[in-house]
Amino acid sequence: MSPFPGFLPDEPIDSVAHLIQTALTPIFMLSGIGTLLNLFNTRLARVSDHIEKSNDALATTKAPTERRHLRQHIRHLHRRTLLLDASILLAAVGGAATCGAAFVLFLGSLRDSSVASWLVVMFGMALICTVGALAAFLCDSLAAWHGLRMTTSWARSTHPKD
């Protein structure tokens, strides 16, 4: 007889241990997604700070060439914020889907066979959103590297070594 009638099946301890292991899998994924969200938010804060500094420089600069370069740089940084926003949004949806998958696993312990399809949908959505978040973050990284190369080449062309 189960100590919690209606909640845990009358099965050996191995089945209960497997249920707990299965339920913990999404939680580990959620921990990884939380780390990604922290990384994305930190990166977004750095880009935002860089936009602010570039806007301040634009306000004090009179040279037309430098103003044009700063406007172009600010547009580039704005595109990066959109990529980071997409990364954060997708990771957050992936995290919510992971929580949903964990919840469905616990509902599945009640032996309702209809929750299996929900579990597949929730965990699948979590994986797809996490991959999407990583892809958007990769695009931001590529944009950052491209912007760094553009800035370096512009600085070399406007300030050649003597």
Q: Report yes or no on 133 lying in a domain.
A: yes
Q: At what angle do helices 64-108 and 13-60 cross, to 10 degrees?
A: 170
Q: Report yes or no on 75 lying in a domain.
A: yes
- Residue 28 confidence (pLDDT): 85
Q: Report yes or no on 103 lying in a domain.
A: yes
Name the maximum alpha-carbon separation found in the chain. 88
Q: Once rounded to an integer, what is the mean pLDDT over residues 145-161? A: 59
Give the global pTM: 0.64
Model confidence band, residue 162 (pLDDT cutoffs 50, 70, 90): very low
- Six-digit token string for 53: 């500094």
Q: Which of 7-21, 105-119, 130-144 has the highest mean pLDDT?
A: 130-144
Helices (H), 62-114: 64-108
Q: Report yes or no on 23 lying in a domain.
A: no
- Residue 126 confidence (pLDDT): 79
Are 10 and 2 in contact, with CB atoms under 8 Å apart?
yes
pLDDT, tens only, 38-76? 898 899 889 989 999 999 999 999 999 999 999 999 999
Q: Report yes or no on 36 lying in a domain.
A: no
Q: Report yes or no on 115 lying in a domain.
A: yes
> How many structural domains compose the chain?
1
Q: Report yes or no on 136 lying in a domain.
A: yes
Q: Report yes or no on 162 lying in a domain.
A: no
* Domain containing residue 108: 69-147
- What is the Cα Rg of the chain in Å? 24
